[in-house]
Amino acid sequence: MDIFYIRECGKTTLSKIIIGLENMSSGEFYFESEIQENLDKKSLFERRKKIQMIFQDPFLSIDPTMYIREVIEEPMISLRPEWNKNEREKRISDIMELVGLDKSYLGKKSKYLSGGQLQRVGIARALICNPKVVICDEPVSALDVSVQAQILNLLKNIKRELGIAMIFISHDLGVIRYLTDRVCVMLDGKICESGNTEKVFKNPTHEYTKYLLDSVPRINI
């Protein structure tokens, strides 16, 4: 599956439309070959099972009053009511192993976890219901540089292992080049350039893309 990159002007609004938090004022949005417009509650519920988000700041997106087990289990209770307790427990165990967290963290609250550990919890929460698409909204920008690479490598491994699609939003062009298969550059609410990541980075055609790439600091040795 491809990972796409949304860079500027409209990326947050677009991600909210995709996940179902905002409605479109114009245009069309298709998911699984079906137009996503004027959905009833049942259809929107089904879409939210399949599209999840990893938020930028794990300290703000995870309720500090909840135990980590509750944080991860809550989406299953809401979106997968057909899963019984044993199925949820198995899923929690598997997902903790996938994101590299010991199960002892399940009995802790967020104040006892580091930023990197909390973002792993955020990743676990996004993946727990087996989505087909995960939106990653600047998922490492709030983390220390020392742990950013660990989270990026984790996301890359998850993408490869699970075969899911990721929409990766970031301002860090180095991260985008490392992580993505395809890139979309947005300007004034429109995609001004898209294509294979390496091709776009090496041979940009739009002036805005050229400007972005030229603005990246270079070290001459």
Domains in the chain with CATH codes: 3-214 (3.40.50.300)
Residue type, 89: E
CA distance 111 to 71: 13
Question: Residue 51 to residues 16, 135, 144, 164: CA-CA distances in angstroms?
Answer: 11, 8, 27, 10
Structure confidence at residue 30 (pLDDT):
82
Sign of the dihedral through C-alpha 140, 2, 91, 78? positive
CA distance 145 to 141: 9
Contact present, 140 and 113 (Cβ < 8 Å): no
Query: What is the CA 104 to chain-centroid distance, rounded?
Result: 25
Residues 3-58 pLDDT 10s: 555 444 677 778 888 887 777 777 778 888 777 777 778 888 888 889 999 988 89
The structure tokens 């079906």 sit at 34
Identify the bridge partners of residue 52 per DSSP, sorted by sequence position. 134
Contact present, 101 and 121 (Cβ < 8 Å): yes
The whole-number average pLDDT for the span 161-173 is 89
Residues 45-92 pLDDT 10s: 888 889 999 988 898 999 999 999 999 999 999 999 999 999 999 999
Q: Which helix (H) or strand (E) holds 86?
A: helix 85-99
The whole-number average pLDDT for the span 93-102 is 97
Chain-wide mean pLDDT for the chain? 88
Structure confidence at residue 9 (pLDDT):
60
Residue 100 has pLDDT above 60, yes or no: yes
CA distance 127 to 130: 6
Question: Residue 137 to residues 15, 16, 18, 145, 204: CA-CA distances in angstroms?
Answer: 8, 11, 13, 17, 24
Q: What is the dihedral of CA 173, 192, 31, 15, to 10 degrees?
A: 50
Label residue 130 by pLDDT band (50, 70, 90). Answer: very high
- Provide the whole-model pTM: 0.87
CA distance 99 to 120: 6
Label residue 218 by pLDDT band (50, 70, 90). Answer: low
The whole-number average pLDDT for the span 181-198 is 90
